[in-house]
């Protein structure tokens, strides 16, 4: 086992999910490390769905503007290094180990400090890495919620909140107001907040918190987005923003939900552009276009083969967004198949119902994730059968066997949709990559 593999194993064995109690211990660890999070300008993004896409889009726009930009995201699909990158380059195994060792040595030197959680450990490593690499900006995606999330120790120059819906209710609350309140917890005193939540209820909560914090706020949904042309692989569109009338935009995805993420990323970029570096009108338009044009996000409406679509939809809002994007695609296929696996802490009863009714597949492959949080295949089989007693269902105890069977049996006139979890998306991509069937 290499040193990197030892470190990866150590981190992966730290509990991932626990009740949020606050950030005091984390702040003490950061102080002991010399507060690396304060050495780089940060942008902080929260949301139920879409926040990772917003982060990636924004990073590409800043890169196009010539800014050295760090990106901290979760979860990873295939390798843990994906969580930390600079200008599109994932952290190397060597730098990953070095950052880990610095945190570990700090903890050993301060036995009064509690051991950080899985996500906190990675966040600490990221702050060290980005500071040492002298990034100009770092974009941090929250892990869970916002108010009590590890990333909320940051003092960002701007915050962003993407789509808000029902997810992680056991941690964040059982109503949209409660969940929005947790997400709005990232809003800081006199720090601009930009949002595109897709919910009037959530918008009201954000505006209220922003007013209490004397923070200016802007709703990206007020700016017009117009679809010009679309295909399963690309959407051509135009957008009006605060400063630009953006035409001839193209995103290499058939996912309509990504347009909302584009709108939010654009207005955050404009806020940074006007407040933190010289405002070059014409160059700014080019930087925005380049960032959008370069955008790709594995596991989100990703065509991995001509008739296989992969999407990490794992909650009600994400499932509805997926089905909306499929409206013009499904009628073109004579047959539909579904491969589904999901974590047990998700509202999979609602998701299975939506997918069964919205896709109406002739065959469903249910599988179990390679995770302690997996939902067993018998439970999923029963839920899909409840929706349609006539549908053919195949049960598998692992994703790889389900994938192999689905691909082997897939006729050319059948569309296979693989969805239910980003962890599922990661397992599928890993399996296909080993077989040489997809490449980066």
- Spatial CA neighbour of 48 closest among 389, 292, 313: 313
* pLDDT value, residue 42: 98
Residue 366 carries which DSSP code?
E
Task: Give residue 342's Cα distance to chain centre.
Answer: 16
pLDDT digits 0-9 by tens, 39-62: 999 999 999 999 999 999 999 999
Distance CA 384, CA 101 (A): 47
- Spatial CA neighbour of 241 closest among 270, 277, 208: 270
Any long-range contacts for 399-404 (C-beta under 8 Å, 24+ apart)?
399/341, 399/367, 399/368, 399/369, 399/370, 399/424, 399/427, 399/428, 399/431, 400/427, 400/431, 401/367, 402/339, 402/341, 402/365, 402/366, 402/367, 403/339, 403/367, 403/428, 403/431, 403/432, 404/431
- CA 331 to each of CA 60, 81, 228, 416: distance values in angstroms, whole numbers, following the listed order: 34, 39, 21, 14
pLDDT band at 431 (very low <50, low <70, confident <90, very high): confident
Is the pLDDT confidence value at 439 over 70? no
* pLDDT value, residue 96: 98
pLDDT digits 0-9 by tens, 333-349: 999 999 999 999 888 89
Distance CA 398, CA 380 (A): 13
For the chain, percent of residues with pLDDT exceeding 70: 96
Distance CA 113, CA 108 (A): 9
The torsion of the CA quartet 267, 138, 146, 213, rounded to 10 degrees, works out to -60
Residue pair 151/123 in contact by the 8 Å Cβ criterion: yes
Q: What phi-psi label fits residue 421: left (phi over 0), alpha (psi between -120 and 50 degrees) or beta?
A: beta
pLDDT digits 0-9 by tens, 359-397: 999 999 999 999 888 999 999 999 999 999 989 999 999
Is the pLDDT confidence value at 32 over 60? yes
Distance CA 18, CA 13 (A): 14
Is the pLDDT confidence value at 154 over 70? yes
Is the pLDDT confidence value at 297 over 70? yes
Task: Give residue 322's Cα distance to chain centre.
Answer: 15
Mean pLDDT, all residues of the chain: 93
* pLDDT value, residue 172: 60
* pLDDT value, residue 124: 98
pLDDT digits 0-9 by tens, 60-69: 999 999 999 9
The answer, yes or no, to whether the previous bond of 281 is cis (omega within 30 of 0) is no
Is the pLDDT confidence value at 170 over 80? no
Distance CA 352, CA 375 (A): 12
Distance CA 168, CA 16 (A): 13
| Mean of pLDDT values over 254-258 | 92
In sign, the C-alpha dihedral spanning 105, 106, 110, 112 is negative
Q: In this structure, what token pair is assigned to residue 430?
A: 């890993």
């Amino acid at each position: 086992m290499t040193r990197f593999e030892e470190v990866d194993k150590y981190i992966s064995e730290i509990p991932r999910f626990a009740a949020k109690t606050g950030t005091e211990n984390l702040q003490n660890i950061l102080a002991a490390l010399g507060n690396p999070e304060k050495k780089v300008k940060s942008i902080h993004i929260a949301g139920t769905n879409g926040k990772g896409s917003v982060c990636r889009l924004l990073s590409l726009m800043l890169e196009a503007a010539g800014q050295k930009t760090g990106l901290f995201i979760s979860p990873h699909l295939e390798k843990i290094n994906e969580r930390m990158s600079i200008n599109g380059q994932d952290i190397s195994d060597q730098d990953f180990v070095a950052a880990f060792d610095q945190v570990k040595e700090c903890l050993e030197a301060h036995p009064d400090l509690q051991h950080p959680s899985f996500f906190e450990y990675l966040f600490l490593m990221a702050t060290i890495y980005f500071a040492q690499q002298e990034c100009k900006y770092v974009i941090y995606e929250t892990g869970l919620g916002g108010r009590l999330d590890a990333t909320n120790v940051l003092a960002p120059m701007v915050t962003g909140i993407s789509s808000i819906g029902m997810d992680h209710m056991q941690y964040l609350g059982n109503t949209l107001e409660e969940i929005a309140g947790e997400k709005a917890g990232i809003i800081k005193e006199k720090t601009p907040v930009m949002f595109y939540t897709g919910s009037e209820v959530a918008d009201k909560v954000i505006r209220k918190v922003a007013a209490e914090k004397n923070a200016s706020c802007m709703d990206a949904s007020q700016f017009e987005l117009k679809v010009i042309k679309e295909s399963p692989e690309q959407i051509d569109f135009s957008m009006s923003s605060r400063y630009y009338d953006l035409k001839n935009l193209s995103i290499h995805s058939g996912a309509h939900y990504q347009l909302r993420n584009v709108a939010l990323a654009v207005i955050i970029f404009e806020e940074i552009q006007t407040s933190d570096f010289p405002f070059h009108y014409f160059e700014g338009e080019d930087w925005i276009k380049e960032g959008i044009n370069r955008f790709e996000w594995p596991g989100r409406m990703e065509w991995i083969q001509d008739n296989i679509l992969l999407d990490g939809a794992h909650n009600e809002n994400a499932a509805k967004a997926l089905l909306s994007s499929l409206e013009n695609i499904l009628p073109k296929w004579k047959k539909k198949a579904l491969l589904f696996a999901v974590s047990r802490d998700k509202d999979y009863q609602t998701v299975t119902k939506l997918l069964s009714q919205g896709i109406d597949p002739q065959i469903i492959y249910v599988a179990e994730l390679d995770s302690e949080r997996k939902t067993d295949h018998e439970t999923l089989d029963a839920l899909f059968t409840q929706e349609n007693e006539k549908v053919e269902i195949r049960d598998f105890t692992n994703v790889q066997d389900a994938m192999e069977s689905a691909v082997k049996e897939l006729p050319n006139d059948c569309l296979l949709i693989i969805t239910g979890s980003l962890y599922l998306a990661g397992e599928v991509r890993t399996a296909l990559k080993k077989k040489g069937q997809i490449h980066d």
